[in-house]
Amino acid sequence: MSHPDANTFKPLLKAIDNAKNELSDSMSTGNFSDSKSALYALLKHTKKLSLTDPSLHHELKALSQSCWNAMYRFHEGGDSVYAKAGRCIHEVGKLETRVKEVCSSQ
């Protein structure tokens, strides 16, 4: 099975960086709407990846979905913007780590 080249992941890595920046801003401003948009863009970029390895694509989509779902896990720290952003940053970090592992294994 062929591995995607690093260019395959550039848009996703850019979306990850954007999400991290927006989430960080949310923690200081208390406004979550731009973060929500950035997380949605992250989902779209992950779904659009053209990968020949369906299990890797499924894994990345699941990690991306976890980033989105973290907004709604109120039992983990409550519903404040700070708590939501913190949960999402944690999940985005897991996705970023996995994408970078895939890129470095090529």
pLDDT given at position 1: 47
Max mean pLDDT range (4-13, 55-64, 97-106): 55-64
Whether the pLDDT of residue 105 is over 90: the answer is: no
Domain count, the chain: 1
Domain contains 95: yes
Q: For residue 85, tell me if it sits in a domain.
A: yes
3 Rama sector, left if φ>0, alpha if ψ -120 to 50, beta otherwise: beta
11, part of any domain: yes
**How many degrees, rounded to 5, is the angle at CA 102 between CA 101 and CA 106?**
110
Domain of residue 33: give its range.
Answer: 6-104
| Model pLDDT for residues 37-80, shown as the tens digit of each residue | 999 999 999 999 988 899 999 999 999 999 999 988 777 667 88
On whether residue 1 sits in a domain, the answer given is no
pLDDT > 70? residue 2: no
CATH of the domain at 62: 1.20.120
